[in-house]
Amino acid sequence: MSNSVHGSPSTDTPESAAEWARLLEGVSGGSKRLVGGDSSVVMERVAEAHAKIRQTLRVAGLLRELQASFEERQKALINRLSVLEEEVGETVLLTMRLTKRQQAVMARQAALESKMAHVIDLLKRRREDSQLKDLQRKELWHANCRLIDLTRGQLTQQKKLDSSSPTDQDLEIAKCSTLVNEKEIVALRTKVEELQKSLSAYTEAITRQSNIPAH
């Protein structure tokens, strides 16, 4: 008798034509009946049915093998997909880290460029202040020299007048010269004071610039 247990056919061999008929009817849906008729025809039909059953079992075995192979491939593909997903996740994380590092490097570069620009501007202003300071020093030097010359000239002229008998014309000339010299001396002293104040201011500015930290 042929029974189906969990989808697997029984290995019991049919013993009669009726059993073969029932087996074939179970396989073919009962489209042909094997009972009745000539015995040779029945045996022929039984042989055909047996061959069809063997073929059906073979096909079923092949289908099971194909299904098992498909399931194995499916599992392999799922595993590969999982691996790829992990690799993609790692790649995304690595890309994010690289992006953050790039942003940090760019921020540092911008800070260094800003600091460099500040230092260059500071050096430029310091150079300009130093140049102005040098010019004012020279101007102050010349003003002091001129002031000394005028003072010496006045003293020399006064000594000449004291040591001789000057005429009224000499006294008038000396008086006019003294007035002119005094005016120039007053102007030079004022200029010297202004230059000294300006030099002090430039010195303080340069000192402050040296103490300013670069941001």
> Which token pair is 92?
């995304």
Q: Is the residue at 102 inside a domain?
A: no
pLDDT digits (tens, 9 = 90+) for 52-80: 888 888 888 888 988 999 999 999 999 99
Which range marks the domain in which residue 29 is found? 4-76
Q: Is the residue at 99 inside a domain?
A: no
Domain boundary among 76, 103, 133: 76
Structural domain tally of the chain? 2
Q: Is the residue at 65 inside a domain?
A: yes
Q: Assess whether pLDDT exceeds 80 at residue 11.
A: no
Beta strands in the chain (DSSP E): 4-5, 8-9
Higher pLDDT, 99 or 17: 99
**Is residue 49 within 8 Å of 34, Cβ to Cβ?**
yes
Q: Is the residue at 94 inside a domain?
A: no
Question: Using N-to-C axis directions, what is the helix angle for 17-28 and 39-163, rounded to 10°?
Answer: 30
pLDDT digits (tens, 9 = 90+) for 13-25: 555 666 656 555 5
pLDDT digits (tens, 9 = 90+) for 119-160: 888 888 878 777 877 887 888 788 778 777 777 777 776 666
Q: What is the DSSP letter of 6?
A: T
Q: Is the residue at 136 inside a domain?
A: yes
**Is residue 22 within 8 Å of 32, Cβ to Cβ?**
no
Higher pLDDT, 177 or 47: 47
Q: Is the residue at 104 inside a domain?
A: no
Q: Is the residue at 189 inside a domain?
A: yes
Neighbours of 212 (CB within 10 A): 9
The mean predicted confidence, pLDDT, of the chain is 75
Instruction: Map tokens 């490097």 to a residue.
Output: 105
What three-state secondary structure class fits 4? strand
Residue 14 backbone dihedrals phi, psi, to 5 degrees: -60, 145
Structure confidence at residue 107 (pLDDT): 94
